[in-house]
Structure 1
Amino acid sequence: MPDIELFQILAISLGLGLLVGLQRQHEKARIAGIRTFPLITVFGTVCAWLAQDFGGWIIAAGAVATAAIVVAANLLQRREQHVDVGQTTEAAMLLMFAIGAYLVIGKTSVAVALGGVVAVLLHLKETLHQAIAKLGETDLRAIMQFVVISLVILPVLPNETYGPYEVLNPYNIWLMVVLIVGIGLAGYFAYKIFGGRAGTLLGGVLGGLISSTATTVTYAKRSKTHDSQTASNNLIALVIFIATAVSLLRIIVEITVVAPTTLGKVAPPLISLLLLMAILIVVGFLFKKEDAGQMPEQENPAQLKTALVFGAIYAIVILATAAAKDHFGDSGLFIVAIISGLTDVDAITLSTSRLMNNQTIGLDTGWKVIMIAALSNIAFKGAMVAVLGSRALFTRVALLFGLSLVAGLLIVWLWPEGFVLDWFGK
């Protein structure tokens, strides 16, 4: 290894140790601070260098020596009164030794990221404790339900295809369930943190993350109640429209996860519609004179029933997509997209993304199918506002949704074939 690389590794090791040591010194940790942590991290790096010539036992011996230092420091502290019984600093010392060693034998970027995570976790002690203290029984149940969905059910499902057209893979179907429930759960906990003081923008963003359809229904009903006296129809329409725009951003995220290699082709037309919606949101804020009020209570998105329903919808959409393509060609996919968009745009997005990723359908067809499904979903939400909301609210929502629908259809019709954005790679 060239000398310059050795010094670079040493500098990174020293820097990570100083970063964590600075945080511990600021918190007045008793056994290690701004000097000890850099020494431990560099010690791990040097042990890893020596291990390349003398064997891995050097790293093991270094880890044992570091642990001995931790034990000795704790024994000495027993003589003092009011000893902090927490083990955070001790655990951080052992981890920073390991990170110092990993800099040599692993990837530098991973080691740097781990060091940064350690520093951030140490710094967020009070914030994390406060967040945990706010968790109720419902929130804890949501976490455990997600654990069951992602870590208990998923691993035991067979990773084989079944049924007609051999497109029903239980493992892949449930993996998409985990993805969608995970996105919804992230929005749910963001709501638990900010929901009580979420204004127009944040209320729409959180609503789009959890469920833009549920947000549309809730706020449409609000426009007919006394709440509309404190939150005008302009603001309610804006919240609904923001949630719809976030649902489009959510579609792009889903494509990124399932079929990242297609982004150069698929993302630009979707982003174009998203940018137009963002402009309309900015214009809407120019007329903002008040807030839309507190967000309504959100349901736990990690319920097993919800996961099963989405899994069933996704499986039906996969099967319908395969049948439509077999009997009607690519044109049949657009019929499925329109129908699926009326119920759940996530399902058609994920199924189409997988088809594009497997090169079963072309990218030009794939993004148009997803766009049509998104536009169908927008039209469906507009119909719900017409049925559930006030006439004044529908007038405003119809204007915003109408402009988006026209723009989306023009993009589908006029978007140049073969256009690829190099930012995402070809």
Structure 2
Amino acid sequence: MQHVSEILDFFPPDSIKFLLVSLFALLIGMEQHRHHINEPDESLFGTDRTFTLIGILGYVLYIINPYSLIAFLGGGIIISALLAIYYYQKIQVYKKFGMTTLVIALITYCLTPLIYKQSNWLVILVLVTVLVITEIKEKLFNISKKFNDSEFITLAKFLAVAGVILPLLPDTPISTEINISPYRFWLAIVAVSCISYVSYLLKKFVFPNSGILLTGILGGLYSSTATTIILARKSKELNESNKIATAIVLATTMMYLRIFLLALFFNETIAYKLVPSFLVFIGVSLLLVFYFYKFYHPKKHDTSGQITIESHSNPLEFKTALVFAGLFILFGLITGMVNSNYGTAGVNVLSFVVGVTDIDPFILNLFQSKWDFENTVLIAAVLNAITSNNLLKMIYGISFGNKSIRIPLIISFGILIVLGLLLSFLVTF
């Protein structure tokens, strides 16, 4: 890198910027040529040379007077006028209304001030975005067809929850009993909703026809408990026992990742202290997944392998958020009372009890709490809540699923439960 820097020092800075403008403009022109290669040349505004010359023109007019920018702005007006004339003729002759090429031409003209005034990473990001957006036209069109009437309302809800309501809330505790501020309370809702929303988008737009295993992975990011129930019920229809069982274990594996991400966001110290335990959980889970997927093959009656998770239809549903908010406040009150009356022993017992509900509100209370808990107490409580939740999922899987998935679920969750108790004991003592 030092030798490269020394070589570049021999060249005037303006010459390097000129080469960058020419190169980037040429790349954009080549991409346009490739993108419109099947169209007649007379219908095009321009391709390789035209876009390169537009970039060079922008450079020349900018460098003439980079302070007042009169020449550059005048050239921009002329280029815009020419593009408007071309667009009018395009509509009249070819009856085509697309103007992507015209906008890209204007971006090409603006490369010079961008290179002079902004960081290199931003310039490259603009170039990459232009090239990618142009090339994925068909994919974007296919994605837009998947949007329903409520899709943008869901997006608007998320933006309002994260970008409008959250910044307006005060960051002072609600009361001595509820030692959490409205800001921290709402931040917990935003964090959980964000992970759920990403999982929802992946399921609907990236992997719409996901098979059983991928369903377990994506569903685990949303809710491993809900995914376990749905997959277990589907086992009676599909009878893909090895896939169903491994998908349920995969959903639980993703639970560890989700909890780690929440910990990393709210309590970085605890997040890193959870890493050794979570690595053990994930490693053992993946070994179980591999074993049952490869070697557990009961008789099959259906091999379609397509599953739809109905409960994953709207990650920002008002009722879901309301239940989460209620549980968050409830666990905040209960945890404070238990800590005051019974100390850390009571918190450990409570962590086992909450496993039969949604553990995220309880765990987020721990991550954000201002109680004087030692880190070992917080880590043990998280591990205990996970362990009891795994017990609940095992019961759900056995109760709702086909008999053929009981053995792998009992073995898998049994190992994870024992492992959770062992890790909690080691952390505490």
TM range (shorter): 0.7 to 0.9
Deviations 1:378-409 (A, max 9, x none): 11111222333344423321111111222233
Show CA shifts across 1:319-366 (max 9, x none): 4444444554444443343333332232234333335xx896554444
The correspondence for 2:387, drawn from 371, 375, 381, is 375
Map of 1:120 onto structure 2: 132
Deviation track 1:119-147 (CA, whole Å, cap 9, x = no partner) reads 22222211111111122234444334434
In structure 2, what residue type is equivalent to 1:345?
I
Over 3 Å counting, the alpha-carbon distance change for 1:392 and 1:286 in structure 2 is closer
Q: Any residues of structure 2 matched to 1:21-60 within 5 Å, and which? A: 21-28=29-36, 30-31=44-45, 33-35=47-49, 55=67, 57-58=68-69
Amino acid at match of 2:293: F
- Residue 240 (structure 2) pairs with residue 240 (structure 1): no
Distance 1:85 1:320 in 2: 62
Q: Does 1:76 align with 2:90?
A: no
- In structure 2, C-alpha distance between the alignment counterparts of 1:129 and 1:38, rounded to whole Å: 29
Q: Is the 8 A contact 2:359 2:389 kept in 1?
A: yes
1:91 to 97, 103, 106: 103
1:305-320 correspondence to structure 2 within 5 Å: 305-320=319-334
Q: 2:416 aligned to 395, 404, 424, which one?
A: 404
2:223 is aligned with 1:215: no
Q: 1:408 to 1:62 in 2, by over 3 A?
A: farther
Would the aligned equivalents of 2:256 and 2:278 in 1 still touch at CA under 8 Å?
yes
Aligned twin of 2:278: 270
Give the corresponding residue for 1:422: none
Task: Return the alpha-carbon distance in structure 1 between the equivalents of residues 51 and 327 of structure 2.
Answer: 52
The answer to whether 1:177 aligns with 2:189 is: yes
1:269–1:411 CA contact under 8 A, matched in 2: yes
- Aligned equivalent of 1:66: 76
Greater displacement, 65-74 / 41-50:
41-50
Normalising by structure 1, report the TM-score. 0.79
Q: Which amino acid aligns with 2:233?
A: K
* 8 Å CA contact retained: 2:210, 2:307: yes
Q: Which runs of 5+ in 2 are unaligned?
A: 38-43
Q: 1:204 to 1:108 in 2, by over 3 A?
A: same
- Is the CA contact 1:266–1:363 (under 8 Å) kept in the aligned structure 2? no
Structure 1 counterpart of 2:349, from 317, 335, 338 = 335
Aligned equivalents of 2:304, 2:406: Cα separation in 1: 16
Amino acid in structure 1 at the alignment position of 2:289: I
**Matched residue type, 2:84:** N
Other-structure match for 1:231:
239
TM-aligned CA deviation for residue 101 of structure 1 = 3.6
C-alpha separation in 2, matches of 1:278 and 1:10: 53
CA contact (8 A) 1:37 1:96 kept: yes
Higher RCO structure, 1 or 2 (CA under 8 Å, sep 6+): 1
Between 35-44 and 149-158, report the one with greater CA deviation: 35-44
Q: Which amino acid aligns with 2:359?
A: V
One-letter identity of the residue aligned with 2:358: D
Match of residue 345 from structure 1:
359
For residue 240 of structure 1, what is the amino acid of its counterpart? Answer: I
SS at match of 1:252: helix
- Structure-2 change in CA distance of 1:204 and 1:27 (3 Å): same
Aligned residue in 2 for 1:257? 265
Q: Distance in 1 between matches of 2:16 and 2:330?
A: 54
CA contact (8 A) 2:377 2:428 kept: no
* Distance in 2 (alpha carbons) for counterparts of 1:370 and 1:48: 60
Equivalent residue in structure 1 for 2:405, among 381, 386, 393 = 393
| 1:286 corresponds to 2:286 | no
- Report if aligned partners of 1:21, 1:34 keep a CA contact under 8 Å in 2: yes
Q: 1:415 to 1:151 in 2, by over 3 A?
A: closer
Return the index of the structure with the highest Cα Rg: 2
CA offset at residue 26 of structure 1?
1.9
Q: Is the 8 A contact 2:177 2:336 kept in 1?
A: yes
Distance 1:9 1:142 in 2: 44
Contact 2:215–2:307, Cα closer than 8 Å, also in 1: yes
Q: Deviations over 1:251-289 (max 9, x none)?
A: 222233334465443323212211221122122221376
TM-score (norm. length: structure 2): 0.79
Q: Which amino acid aligns with 1:401?
A: F
One-letter amino acid of the counterpart of residue 249, structure 2: F
Change beyond 3 A, Cα 1:100–1:157 = farther
Report the residue type matching 1:201 in the other structure.
L
Deviation string for 1:280-332 (max 9, x for gaps)?
21222213767572213423111122122212222333444444445544444
Mapped to 2, the partners of 1:95 and 1:255 lie a distance apart of 42
CA RMSD of aligned residues (A): 3.7
Shift of residue 202, structure 1, vs aligned partner: 0.9
Distance of aligned partners of 1:150 and 1:91 in 2 relative to their CA distance in 1, 3 Å threshold: farther
CA separation of 1:218 and 1:101: change in aligned 2, threshold 3 A: same
User: Does residue 144 of structure 2 align to residue 132 of structure 1?
Assistant: yes
Unaligned stretches of 5+ residues in structure 1 = 418-426
AA aligned opposite 1:221 = R
Counterpart-to-counterpart distance in 2, 1:377 and 1:209: 15
1:95/1:410 Cα in 2 relative to 1: closer, same or farther (>3 Å)?
farther
Q: Percent identity over the alignment?
A: 24
Letter in 1 for 2:131: A
- What's the CA shift string for 1:167-198, capped at 9, x where partnerless? 33223222221222222222223222466632
Q: Which amino acid aligns with 1:310?
A: F
